[in-house]
Amino acid sequence: MTSDMTCAGNVGPMETDPGDAEDAVARYLREQADRPLGDAQLASGRTLAPFSHALGLGAENLLVKAIDALAAQDEDRATALVRRAVGLPFDEHEEVAPAAMAAHYLLFNLVTDVMEDSPDDDERWLDAALAVIDGPDRFARLDMRDVLTAIAQDYDLTRSERRRLRGGIRDVEAAPELVDLLDLTQEELAERVMAILGACRSYADAVGA
């Protein structure tokens, strides 16, 4: 299977520099605080929505660049980029750490893009996903389980795909989704995010993306 997608699926690196995205977030907060009733407005979903969007784009941009660094075998750069993503402010609008959400959707989009581009009788998209499930990284295994669970719920799979998918995730330990783990330290979150990015890289390599 060949594909011209990045490891992030259809969502490639944003044109905005990640540093610019971080600066924009800080600038937005300063501007809101300087406005009359700024604190009250920050408590409203209407005002938090653009802030949330900026955080999401910033985290995604940083993590896509981290995946590229992993592909170039530059683990130090990848680690530094992940730490920057993890250090972004908590998204009060979505009630999630931006890096956790971005990492999950990078993997989800990658798998679903490959799946949707595959002929009905081509299950290599699932072979690669189950290889992550069977791999040694517990955190990558947990997030891939969450991705496959969502696919089983939301997509029209063949009977063979559904049987194999359910069998593959059956024995994966029960655990909360990463986006629901709000008490992780930055170091713990960075470790989880790095595991997911490694799964993205392994999956892309397996399917030729």
Please check whether residue 25 is in contact with residue 52, taking contact to mean a CB–CB distance below 8 angstroms: no
Environment class of residue 10 by beta-carbon count within 10 Å: exposed (0-12), middle (13-18) or buried (19+)? exposed
Asked if the model's pLDDT at residue 87 lies above 80, the reply is yes
Per the confidence metrics, is the pTM higher than 0.85? no
Asked if the model's pLDDT at residue 94 lies above 50, the reply is yes
Please report which confidence band the pLDDT of residue 38 belongs to, taking 50, 70 and 90 as the band edges.
very low
Q: Report the amino acid identity of residue 94.
A: E
Share of the chain above pLDDT 70, in %: 75
Asked if the model's pLDDT at residue 6 lies above 60, the reply is no
